[in-house]
Amino acid sequence: MNSRSVFSSRPVLVAAALVLQAVLLVVAVAPQLSARVTGMEYRLAVGLVDPIDPLRGAYAQLDYPGLPRADGRSGPVYVPLARDGGLWKGSGVMRQRPASGPYIACESAGYARLSCGIDSLFLSQDKALRAQNELGGNRMAAIVKIDATGNAAVVGLAPR
Amino acid sequence: MESTRHVPARRLAWLRGELTRWQAEGLIDEGAARRIEAGYVPGRRLSLERLALLLGGGFLGVGLIWLVAANLDQLSPLLRLAGITVIWIAAAVVGETVSSRGGRQAARLVSVFAAGGVIFQAAQSLQVPAYSSSLLGVWAGGALAYAYATAATGPLVMALAIASAWYGWLIGEQNGGAAAIAVGMLAAGGVSSAIANLHDSGRLARFAGPWRLAGVVLALSGLFVAAFPGVSAGPAFWSPALGAGLAAAGIAIGAVVFLTGRDGRQEVLAVTSMIVVALLLVAWTPLGTPWYTGEFSAEQTARAVVGTLAYVLAAAWFAVVAARRDLSHLVYLVTAALVLFVIIQSFAVFQPLLTGAALFLALGVVFIGSGFLVNYGRRRLMEAMR
C-alpha cells in the first residue's frame, strides 16, 4: 500500500513508544527494585512525620535516629552500618564507597537529613494514621532491604 | 485526483472574497474559480460529541491517577500495577484502532494519564521516596515519545505541560530560588520556540503550534518572575540543571539559526535576547528597602521599570509573531498575560508612581500611537517602492 518500511508504520511506532515508556519506568525505579530483589534485610530504628503527597496518597515521612545527619558538604555519601543490639545503626559518613560491610548510598544536601531512598513509607489513609501514632512513640523499627551497592528500600515496619 | 481540504469557515469566506476579486481583475476565469473553490470544504467546529469525548477522557485520566493515589490495599500492589498497565496498553490500542476521530483522541488522552498512573503505582509499590521530580520527568519523556509515535497533538500538549512542570520542579529542588526558576523557564521557552521553528518546514508541521504555545507561555512566565522586584540570583543560583537547560537552549537555537529561514531566525534570536535580559535582571541586586514596604530607592525603581519594559516588549513581540502566523488564540493569550502582569506589577511596584488605571491609559495611548506610526511608515515604504 505504501512504500515506507515496516519500521515506520504506525502500530510499530506506537509499540516502540510503549516499550520505551516501560524501559524509562524501570530506570526510574531501578534502585528500589534492585534493593528489593537482591538485597538483604536489616532493621533500623525509625521515627516520623505525616504529610500527604498529592500524586501518590498518604505516606509517613520516616526519620532514622540511628543514621547520621549531613556534615555540611553536599553530594553522594556512604553510611557504613554497624550492629546495635537487635538493630543496625550508621557509623559515620564516608565520601568513598566502603570496601566491605553493609552500607547505604545516600545523597547529602549539605544540611539536615541525608536522603537515602528510604525516607517515606506509603500506606493507605487509615493505616497511615495508626502508623503515625506508633512511630511517634519511638517503638518501631523499619525493615529495610539493602543490596550490594548500597541501594536501600523500605519494605515494612515492625516493633523494635 | 484531488482531495478536499477542511478549512475553518472564516478562511473559506476570505478565499471566496479573494476569488471574486481575482475574477474582477481578470487573473482567473470563472471555471478556474469554481474548481478552486470546490477543493475546500468548511471544517466542522468542535462538535458537542467530540467535546464530550475529550472531557470524558480527561476526567477518566484524572480519576485513574487519583485511584492510584488512594492506595487501596484491598488489592495487592502487584494486582494494582497489573490493572493499570492493562488499562494503559488497552487505551493505546483503542487510540489506534477505533474509527471515530474523537474516540481516538479521547483514548490517547487516557493512555497518557494511564502511563503516569503506571509510573506512580510502581513507585508507590516499591516505596520510591516521595517528592522526587524524576518520576515526572520519566512521565514527560514517555508521553513525548508517544506523541511523536502517534503524530497526535493531544498527547504532545500533555507531554509539554508535564515536561514544563518537571523542569520547573527540578530547578526548584536545586535551591536556586525564584531567580533560577525564572531563567530556567526562559531556557525551556527557548528550546520550545526553537523546536517549533524546526517543525514549521518539516513533515509534522502541525506540531509547531503546541511547541510555539509552550515557548510563549514559558518565556513570558520566566520574564514575569524575573521582572518582579526582589528576585535576584543567590549563591546557589547556578546548578547543573540550569546549566543543562541553557546549554540545550543554545544548541536548539543554533540549529534553528543554521537550518531555517529569516522568520525562524528572528523568533529564536528574540527569545535569546529575552534570556540575556533575564540573566541581567536577576544579576542586578539594587540596594534598598524590601519591595513589600512600598518605599523604593531610585535604583530599585530603575530595575522595576527595566523589568516592566522587558516584559511588555516581549509580550508585544509574541503578539506580532502570533498575528503574522494567524494564530488568534495566541494573541488573546499574550494580551491576557500582559493585563495580568500590569495588574500585579502595579499593585506591587508602581503604586507610588502610577496607579493601575493610569498605567493602562498610558500604555494604551503608546500602543495606539505606535500602531499608527508603524502603519504610516509601512504605507510610505510601499509607495516609495512602487
Cα-Cα end-to-end distance for chain A? 69
Give phi and psi for A71, each to the nearest 5: -105, 20
Q: How far is CA B122 from the centre of its chain?
A: 30
**Cβ contact A118–B65 (<8 Å):** no
* Min distance B73 CA to chain A CA atoms (Å): 7
pLDDT, tens digit, 9 for 90 and up, residues B139-157: 999 999 999 999 888 899 9
Contact B108, B91 (CB under 8 A): yes
Contact B137, A31 (CB under 8 A): no
ipTM: 0.79
Q: How far apart are CA A120 and CA A56, in angstroms?
A: 11
Q: Given this model, what pLDDT does residue A2 score? A: 47
pLDDT at B58 over 50: yes
A76 in a domain, yes or no? yes
Q: Given this model, what pLDDT does residue B118 score? A: 92
Q: Which residues of B touch A10 (CB under 8 A)?
A: 96, 149-151
Say which residues have a Cβ less than 8 Å from residue A135's Cβ, sequence separation at least 6.
Answer: A46, A47, A48, A60, A62, A157
Contact A150, A78 (CB under 8 A): yes
B106 vs B201, more confident: B106
Average pLDDT, chain B: 84
Task: With CA atoms as reference, report the closest residue to B40 among B10, B83, B64.
Answer: B10
Give the closest of A61, A118, A124 to B71, CB-based: A124
- Chain A interface test: which of B75, B96, B127 (most A C-beta within 10 Å): B127
Q: Given this model, what pLDDT does residue B287 score? A: 67
Q: Is B148 on the interface with A (CB under 8 A)?
A: yes
Task: With CA atoms as reference, report the closest residue to B154 among B85, B88, B90, B103.
Answer: B103
Q: How far apart are CA B72 and CA B60, in angstroms?
A: 18
Q: How many domains does chain A have?
A: 1
Residue B68 CB coordination number (10 Å) = 26
pLDDT at B385 over 80: no
Range of the domain at A138: 34-159
Residue B81 CB coordination number (10 Å) = 19
Beta bridge mates, A57: A53
Angle between helices B48-70 and B101-125 (to 10 degrees): 10
pLDDT, tens digit, 9 for 90 and up, residues B305-351: 888 889 988 988 888 888 778 777 787 788 788 877 877 776 666 55
Q: Given this model, what pLDDT does residue A92 score? A: 84
Strand-strand pairing, A87-90 and A74-84: antiparallel
DSSP output for A4-72: S-GGGSHHHHHHHHHHHHHHHHHHHHHHHHHHHHH-EEEEEE-EEE--EETTTEEEEEEE-TTSPPP-S
Q: How far apart are CA B117 and CA A72, in angstroms?
A: 37
Task: With CA atoms as reference, report the closest residue to B10 among B35, B45, B36, B48.
Answer: B45
Which residue reads 495580568 in cell numbers? Answer: B340
Q: How far apart are CA A33 and CA A31, in angstroms?
A: 5
Q: Which residues of B touch A54 (CB under 8 A)?
A: 69
Residue B53 CB coordination number (10 Å) = 20
pLDDT, tens digit, 9 for 90 and up, residues B240-265: 889 999 999 999 999 999 988 888 88
pLDDT, tens digit, 9 for 90 and up, residues B91-101: 999 988 888 88
Residue B28 CB coordination number (10 Å) = 14
Angle between helices B134-150 and B77-97 (to 10 degrees): 30
Give the closest of A18, A56, A125 to B124, CB-based: A56
A94 in a domain, yes or no? yes
The CA-atom distances, in angstroms, between B155 and each of A17, B111, B115, B349 are: 12, 9, 11, 40
Q: Given this model, what pLDDT does residue A24 score? A: 92
Contact A115, A142 (CB under 8 A): no
* Min distance B130 CA to chain A CA atoms (Å): 6
Q: How far apart are CA B380 and CA B288, in angstroms?
A: 48
Contact B334, B321 (CB under 8 A): no
> Residue B12: pLDDT band by 50, 70, 90 thresholds?
confident
Residue A68 CB coordination number (10 Å) = 17
Q: Which residues of B touch A119 (CB under 8 A)?
A: 129-130
Contact B73, B125 (CB under 8 A): no
* Min distance B9 CA to chain A CA atoms (Å): 31
Residue B25 CB coordination number (10 Å) = 8
Q: Note the pTM of the prediction, 2 decimals.
A: 0.79
pLDDT, tens digit, 9 for 90 and up, residues A24-65: 999 888 888 888 888 888 888 887 655 555 555 667 778 888
Q: How far apart are CA B181 and CA B186, in angstroms?
A: 9
Task: With CA atoms as reference, report the closest residue to B110 among B132, B84, B135, B148.
Answer: B84
A89 in a domain, yes or no? yes
In order along chain A (160 residues), what is the average pLDDT of each group of 10 residues?
60 90 90 88 77 60 83 84 87 86 84 82 72 74 89 86
Parse chain B into domains and list their residue ranges: 1-45, 49-173, 178-342, 354-386
A22 in a domain, yes or no? no
A74 in a domain, yes or no? yes
Q: Please tell me what DSSP assigns to residue A86.
A: T
Q: How far is CA A66 from the centre of its chain?
A: 16
Q: How far apart are CA B180 and CA B131, in angstroms?
A: 19
pLDDT at B194 over 90: yes
* Min distance B2 CA to chain A CA atoms (Å): 18
Contact A131, A120 (CB under 8 A): no
